[in-house]
Structure 1
Amino acid sequence: MNEQIETYRDALLAAYIEGDIQLFERIVSVLKDVINDEKFQNDLKEYENEREKKLKELFRDADERARIAVESQKSPELWNTLGEIQTSLSDAILKLESEYYDTIKTYIVEYIRRKYGET
């Protein structure tokens, strides 16, 4: 999927550089169709809501783990534990954001396939 999105981006850039206004406008038109598609927007909103729930769960979990660590540990162990919590939270957020952008790319490619066939 990423390769296909990169292909659309590269095609758009190439059309612009080559001065092929018709091709450039066609690609822009396809991308506008994707953006303006109601199903795409609904799917995207639903996915964003799920993403937001997951982020809240991640922060809630990290907060709980930090609270327990503060209540039960002394200084050296506490700082190590809090560092581990921060690292795991950062890793989880990065993974979630990566999945988010991959999903958006997939939605775009699938929409184009449905509407225009294989490209």
Structure 2
Amino acid sequence: MTVAILIADDEPNILMSLEYLMKREGYTVHLARDGDETLAVLRRERPRLVLLDVMMPGKTGFEVCQEVRHDDAIKDTLILMLTAKGRETDVVKGLALGANAYMTKPFSTRELVDKVRELLGAA
């Protein structure tokens, strides 16, 4: 059985490229385009990991992260925040809200794949 990953981002080009990359690595991929859809997919599909953008319509990635950590049904979901918000205060906030890791855009695909493997291997 393959590991399921949710990619949550409001930018279609990022969704498409990350979906291709993660499928190529052998993962089952689900997509969400805003914070509310992200939470719905998390509760319905129960992916092991979510690649979570911070700046999305509706609920932000920070709000989604906080809600995930307070929901017993999905609180063990691994969260890797992927965002253009790279100030140290943003990184600290994301990790304080419960993200397992934080990567800023732009990032290399190799670096992302390595981080995903690291998170899933440690789980």
User: TM-score by structure 2 length?
Assistant: 0.26
Q: Which of the two has higher C-alpha Rg?
A: 1
- Structure showing greater relative contact order (alpha-carbon pairs closer than 8 Å, 6 or more residues apart): 1
User: TM-score by structure 1 length?
Assistant: 0.27
Higher helix proportion: 1
Higher strand proportion: 2
